[in-house]
A and B are shown apart, each in its own frame.
Chain A
Amino acid sequence: MTQSGTGPVAATASRRPASDGSTHAASTVGHPLLRLHGVHLAYEWADQPVLKDVDFEVRDGEAVLLLGPSGCGKSTLAMLCAGLIPDAVAATVTGEVWRHPDLQRPGAIGYIFQDPEAQLCMLRVGEEIAFGLENAARPRADMVSRIEHALREAGLCVAPLARHASFSGGMKQKLALACALAMHPRLLMADEPTANLDPQATAQVFRQLRRLHAAGQTMVIIEHKFEPLLPWVERVVLFDADGRVVASGPCRETVEKYADWLAEVGVLPAWKHWHARTAARTAGQDRSAPASQAVDAGDRKLRDASSPVPMPAAVELDEATLAYGDQPVWQGLNLTIPRGSFTAIVGPNGAGKSTLLLVMAGLRPLTAGRVALFGRPVRDWPARALREKVVLCFQNPEHQFVFERVADEWAGRLLGDSIPAEVHQALADHGLAGTAEQSPFALSQGQKRRLSVAVITREEHDLYLFDEPTFGQDARTQEALMERLATLHRAGKTVVISTHDMDLVRRFATQVVVLADGGILFEGTPEALWTRPDVMQQAHLLDDTAWAADVAEAGVNPPSGREYSRTLAGGDGNHEPQAGHGAVREEVSSDGWLRATPVRRRWPAPLRRINPAMQLVATLLAVGVAMFARNLAQSAATLLVPVLLAALASGIGPIRTIRRLAAFLIFYILYVWSFAAFSAVPPGTKVYHVLWFRLSWLGLYNGLVLAGRMLGGVALGLVLVSSVDISRFIEALCQNFRCPPKFAYGVLAGLRFVPLFREEWTKLRQARAMRGKAVAWWAQPVVYALPLLAQAIRMSERVAVAMEARGLIGRAAEQATARTYYWPAPVRPWDVAYAIGLPLVLATLLVVLRGV
């Protein structure tokens, strides 16, 4: 363990950060850790370099903030600093990059990325944190204590055996932080760590960063929502859109000095009035009524224009309930959205805001209750009329792209070779000049959003629904977008948005709906909401870092010492997943590998103790042996042996074994039929001619033999899936078969995405329906292939970079012996006995039964 590593992290637990508002002392900043001089960087596919003549330095103990418009190369610079470029991401780099020798150690540079989904690669909390430690070849004994410590450091109160798939975005980001901290990084890179989070989760992440920094952690932060960072980050570096450094200096002074420039290039949204508010915050801590400072005269005028009109409301929900399965998302909602209003729906991640918009668009039926649009129940609207009246803009613009060319996309039909001038003009009006011939998927994030909004506002509607329209956009695009929505509103249209951006709510909305904890917590004007800190607290809407975190620590998320020791109890010892362990998540989502159905282990599971790699060997050999079953008795034996194993030794029990296999009953009846109907028979055998089928008893017999042994293969698979844990399986493949770790872990990272695709598919279907381009079910795979695969490929690139940032690189990636493993996979005598025994038993049975 290096000295530099333990110092800052160990100190944090005991030391409280400096009180709110005071700037971190500059005296702790030490010698340079990293220096770039005259660096140019160009990606292979691009004409222009991303970074031009960049000088950059990070000193020990310093926190540096990188600011600049979207696409200016901030993330590229961070990846270059961390050594991910050019190793993980190919690019041409010239100039000088110097790193302190301390940074050469594996894990010395920790990295937190933007997308919570794309930076985790294992299934459970403990093994996730261990992944980096394994790559750095830490001994296993060391991992357990480091995992426990890192969880505490990151403020995440969960058991190491908990599965993180069900975590919220905020918890996932904290887990990513824990993964980085477990490595005791000298330098922590945080690339928009809060981009996907609600205000409270954002505040919590900032709070943890601040604590770490106060304890001496060096860090580089890229962040759009940078205001809360200003009080404690020492230095800021400003980039322009061409990837040049414009200025670098003390944080607050530099930002204030360049405020106009920042607003001009689109880093600072003009409506945020940030200096007024930050000044007020540091001076008077006046938190009770910040709204009064932010709402200017112009906004008021806008609101007055939209005073209530006595007409049927745009949307009326009456005792509306929506549930996934038997889990309610929200219930008993009573909500009226007046015509001509600008309504913002806010609330924590996962409150069901997007679902509510889908219901309003008539794309998702309610589980119970009624929804009416413009005074008429949704189900009474003819589909076409509804599409003309209401339109929904999805959070991910790609979901609603239908065509492969921007011009076609805008026109809503294939235009052919000659694109009319008015299409070019219209695209230019939306800031999309010169993109007519491109693929919509190849546009930048901002352009995609502008295109999707342009498309849905092209035709006139009465109700416009936008799901997080400003998500992932820089200030300039946000500004243009909100201006567009305001224009619709001024024209008398009803606009409903969901958002996390409370500034935007304050600036534009006439009505706020707070959706949290399965119901509506608040409905009224933004001004009224700001007088209800209790509601804002409960709905995770507080963006004031210090306050939110203080309150959270006191009540909402209490990580008291005792609680920690209890939840972390699974973190030591053998990590043996057992019944009655108390880990609820484990119970909920650990059936098989890829399905989420509840499991209760009442049946003995001795097979779970067998080495997973040896189980694979046993299964493959047994499948091979079973192919030699030629008569009915042999076939029955190859079926019965694995069925008995599954029922009695894999932990799922007889009933579930039968139920699983029964699911294939119809399939196998048809299978037997196809033999009975088409099998070749020796001359003289009785054949019944029915239609074009040639039925024979011999064919039926053949079919039964084959079906028996094939179903035996299914049962063997069931035994394997029920008694092997996939993470352990992957680790065993590396340890026992020397499988190159990057293949084993890379494939596992890909398999994690199965459940995600189901969601993507649903969204694609809804988005198509929205655009009146619904696709017959049989054609869906063809039509959805492009958007689905495009999403998958981008995701895989992000995952790969994140995994390489966590040390799956060089020898640790190529050689199984160059790293250590969290799940030991010894090959003991009984493992070998099973691997040989199972196929041997089957072979013996086949020999004994051959004459029957």
Chain B
Amino acid sequence: MPSGQPAGASVTARRERGVMWKLREIIVAAILSVVCGVIYLGWDNLTMPLFSSTVSPAVQGLVNGVWWIAAGLVAYIVRRPFAAFLGGLVSAVVEFLLGSPYGTGAIISGLVQGGGAEVGLLLGGWRRWSLPWMMLSGAVGGIGNTLQWYFQYGGDKYSAGIVVGYLVTTCMSGAVIAGLIPKLIGDALRRAGVVRNFEIGRQARERS
């Protein structure tokens, strides 16, 4: 028979504290990244025959934004520091694990694209989630992408005009595909009521 002295303890109005990541936010980031990783894999195999081998790299940039959708989506829902980076990295790892033709290069893409998107959100102090900020984040992710392309994927073999063209189209693509679209998806999920336990839902309640 346990001998512990029963002591009264009341639990009153305890609210979530601090800005630390919660476990469910980490898992949601991982699961969303898994979904995106699958999409990336399809995109890897789709874009190479359709774009990369048929048109100039300056135009190829237009399809790039897809590869860091996870960064914007995870960050927009979870709204924590380093959410974009985590989303970018985990989705790239999934793409790698599923057998991406880019192999370990995919992981580096995750680091630089997620890192770029994170820098965009950092500029807003991780507090601004309006459309312009999301698009900025997506565009900065494009800078990360261009850096990898230049140094690892042979971007330095092209003329300066092509390199600049690639940078511009990639950033445009990032702003729309990895900025605008994640916001639209996130807002649709908020209306569907499935993210009310997350920061996106909490902040929407506070505003209203």
Real binding pair: yes
Flag if A716 contacts B104 (CB, 8 Å).
yes
Flag if B11 contacts A97 (CB, 8 Å).
yes
Question: Taking the complex as formed, is B185 at the interface, i.e. its CB lies under 8 A from any CB of chain A?
Answer: yes
**Cross-chain contact of A680 among B39, B103, B159 (Cβ < 8 A):** B159
Knowing A100-B2, A749-B30, A801-B24 are in contact, say whether A668-B101 is a contact too (CB < 8 A).
yes
Please encode chain A, from 705 to 722, with 1 for each CB lying within 8 Å of some chain B CB and 0 for all others.
Answer: 010001101111110110
Residues in B neighbouring A438, C-beta threshold 8 A = 193
Knowing A90-B197, A757-B34 are in contact, say whether A786-B9 is a contact too (CB < 8 A).
no
Question: Taking the complex as formed, is B127 at the interface, i.e. its CB lies under 8 A from any CB of chain A?
Answer: no
User: Interface stretch among A145-153, A458-466, A670-678?
Assistant: A670-678
Residues in B neighbouring A627, C-beta threshold 8 A = 151-152
Knowing A45-B201, A713-B104, A754-B98 are in contact, say whether A706-B154 is a contact too (CB < 8 A).
yes
Which partner residue on chain A sits nearest B16 by CB separation? A90
> Chain A CB within 10 Å — which of B22, B104, B196 has the most?
B104
Flag if A441 contacts B192 (CB, 8 Å).
yes
User: Interface stretch among A21-29, A203-211, A739-747, A840-848?
Assistant: A739-747
**Cross-chain contact of A664 among B10, B101, B151, B196 (Cβ < 8 A):** B101
Give the CA-CA distance A595 to B94 in the complex, in Å: 12
Give the CA-CA distance A668 to B52 in the complex, in Å: 11
Knowing A677-B53, A789-B185 are in contact, say whether A442-B27 is a contact too (CB < 8 A).
no
Please encode chain A, from 61 to 96, with 1 for each CB lying within 8 Å of some chain B CB and 0 for all others.
Answer: 000000000000000000000000010111011111
Which partner residue on chain A sits nearest B49 by CB separation? A670
Question: Taking the complex as formed, is A289 at the interface, i.e. its CB lies under 8 A from any CB of chain B?
Answer: no
Give the CA-CA distance A781 to B159 in the complex, in Å: 35
Flag if A44 contacts B30 (CB, 8 Å).
no
Residues in A neighbouring B29, C-beta threshold 8 A = 746-747, 750
Knowing A623-B108, A675-B157, A750-B90 are in contact, say whether A800-B23 is a contact too (CB < 8 A).
yes
Residues in A neighbouring B6, C-beta threshold 8 A = 32, 98, 100-101
Question: Taking the complex as formed, is B207 at the interface, i.e. its CB lies under 8 A from any CB of chain A?
Answer: no
Q: Name the interface residues of B1-54: CB closer than 8 Å to any CB of A.
A: 1-2, 4-16, 21-24, 26-35, 38-39, 42, 44-45, 48-49, 52-53
Interchain nearest-CB distance for B24 vs A (Å):
3
Flag if B31 contacts A796 (CB, 8 Å).
yes
Please encode chain B, from 178 to 201, with 1 for each CB lying within 8 Å of some chain A CB and 0 for all others.
Answer: 000000010011011111110001
Give the CA-CA distance A789 to B96 in the complex, in Å: 21
Residues in A neighbouring B7, C-beta threshold 8 A = 98, 101
Question: Taking the complex as formed, is B81 at the interface, i.e. its CB lies under 8 A from any CB of chain A?
Answer: no
Please encode chain A, from 691 to 717, with 1 for each CB lying within 8 Å of some chain B CB and 0 for all others.
Answer: 010000001001100100011011111
Question: Taking the complex as formed, is A790 at the interface, i.e. its CB lies under 8 A from any CB of chain B?
Answer: yes
**Cross-chain contact of B189 among A666, A677, A790 (Cβ < 8 A):** A790
Residues in A neighbouring B24, C-beta threshold 8 A = 88, 796-797, 800-801
**Cross-chain contact of A670 among B11, B15, B52, B194 (Cβ < 8 A):** B52
Residues in A neighbouring B132, C-beta threshold 8 A = none
Knowing A679-B158, A800-B27 are in contact, say whether A706-B153 is a contact too (CB < 8 A).
yes
Flag if A102 contacts B2 (CB, 8 Å).
yes
**Cross-chain contact of A98 among B8, B26, B201 (Cβ < 8 A):** B8
Question: Taking the complex as formed, is B99 at the interface, i.e. its CB lies under 8 A from any CB of chain A?
Answer: yes
Knowing A86-B14, A678-B162, A792-B32 are in contact, say whether A439-B192 is a contact too (CB < 8 A).
yes
Residues in B neighbouring A706, C-beta threshold 8 A = 153-154, 157
Mostly helix, strand, loop or mixed at chain A's interface? helix
Flag if A796 contacts B30 (CB, 8 Å).
yes
Please encode chain B, from 84 to 127, with 1 for each CB lying within 8 Å of some chain A CB and 0 for all others.
Answer: 00000010001011110111110110000000000000000000
Total interface residues in chain B, CB < 8 Å: 74
Flag if A714 contacts B101 (CB, 8 Å).
yes
Question: Taking the complex as formed, is A317 at the interface, i.e. its CB lies under 8 A from any CB of chain B?
Answer: no
Knowing A102-B2, A790-B189, A790-B192 are in contact, say whether A797-B103 is a contact too (CB < 8 A).
no
Residues in A neighbouring B193, C-beta threshold 8 A = 438-439, 441-442
Please encode chain A, from 640 to 679, with 1 for each CB lying within 8 Å of some chain B CB and 0 for all others.
Answer: 0000000000000000000010011011101101110111
Which partner residue on chain A sits nearest B153 by CB separation? A706
Question: Taking the complex as formed, is A328 at the interface, i.e. its CB lies under 8 A from any CB of chain B?
Answer: no
Flag if A750 contacts B31 (CB, 8 Å).
yes
Knowing A680-B159, A804-B23 are in contact, say whether A711-B30 is a contact too (CB < 8 A).
no
**Cross-chain contact of A667 among B8, B101, B196 (Cβ < 8 A):** B101
Knowing A4-B2, A790-B194, A793-B189 are in contact, say whether A747-B26 is a contact too (CB < 8 A).
yes
Which partner residue on chain B sits nearest A619 by CB separation? B104
Give the CA-CA distance A594 to B100 in the complex, in Å: 13
Residues in A neighbouring B101, C-beta threshold 8 A = 664, 667-668, 714
Flag if B34 contacts A753 (CB, 8 Å).
yes
Interchain nearest-CB distance for B100 vs A (Å):
8
Which partner residue on chain A sits nearest B188 by CB separation? A786
Flag if A717 contacts B195 (CB, 8 Å).
no
Give the CA-CA distance A90 to B25 in the complex, in Å: 13
Give the CA-CA distance A781 to B185 in the complex, in Å: 12
Flag if B103 contacts A678 (CB, 8 Å).
no
Give the CA-CA distance A648 to B65 in the complex, in Å: 38
Flag if A796 contacts B53 (CB, 8 Å).
no
Residues in A neighbouring B194, C-beta threshold 8 A = 441-442, 789-790, 793-794
Give the CA-CA distance A226 to B197 in the complex, in Å: 31
Flag if A594 contacts B97 (CB, 8 Å).
yes
Question: Taking the complex as formed, is A785 at the interface, i.e. its CB lies under 8 A from any CB of chain B?
Answer: yes
Which partner residue on chain B sits nearest A4 by CB separation? B2
Residues in B neighbouring A692, C-beta threshold 8 A = 56
Flag if A750 contacts B27 (CB, 8 Å).
yes
Flag if A93 contacts B197 (CB, 8 Å).
no
Question: Taking the complex as formed, is B128 at the interface, i.e. its CB lies under 8 A from any CB of chain A?
Answer: no
Please encode chain A, from 407 to 421, with 1 for each CB lying within 8 Å of some chain B CB and 0 for all others.
Answer: 000000000000000
Residues in B neighbouring A667, C-beta threshold 8 A = 44-45, 48, 101
Question: Taking the complex as formed, is A799 at the interface, i.e. its CB lies under 8 A from any CB of chain B?
Answer: yes
Q: Name the interface residues of A370-394: CB closer than 8 Å to any CB of B.
A: none
Give the CA-CA distance A721 to B96 in the complex, in Å: 10
Flag if B53 contacts A673 (CB, 8 Å).
yes
Give the CA-CA distance A392 to B41 in the complex, in Å: 32
Question: Taking the complex as formed, is A788 at the interface, i.e. its CB lies under 8 A from any CB of chain B?
Answer: yes
The 6 closest A-B pairs by CB, nearest first: A750-B30, A714-B103, A442-B193, A101-B4, A746-B26, A800-B24
A-B contact pairs, 12 of them (CB 8 A): A86-B11, A98-B8, A100-B2, A438-B193, A442-B191, A619-B104, A667-B44, A667-B48, A710-B152, A746-B29, A792-B31, A797-B24
Q: Which residues of B contact A (CB under 8 A)?
A: 1-2, 4-16, 21-24, 26-35, 38-39, 42, 44-45, 48-49, 52-53, 56-57, 90, 94, 96-99, 101-105, 107-108, 151-154, 157-159, 162, 185, 188-189, 191-197, 201-202, 205
* 17 more CB-based (< 8 A) A-B contacts, given A101-B7, A442-B194, A742-B21: A86-B15, A101-B2, A439-B192, A442-B193, A619-B104, A670-B48, A670-B53, A674-B57, A711-B103, A742-B26, A746-B23, A753-B34, A757-B35, A790-B194, A792-B28, A800-B22, A800-B23
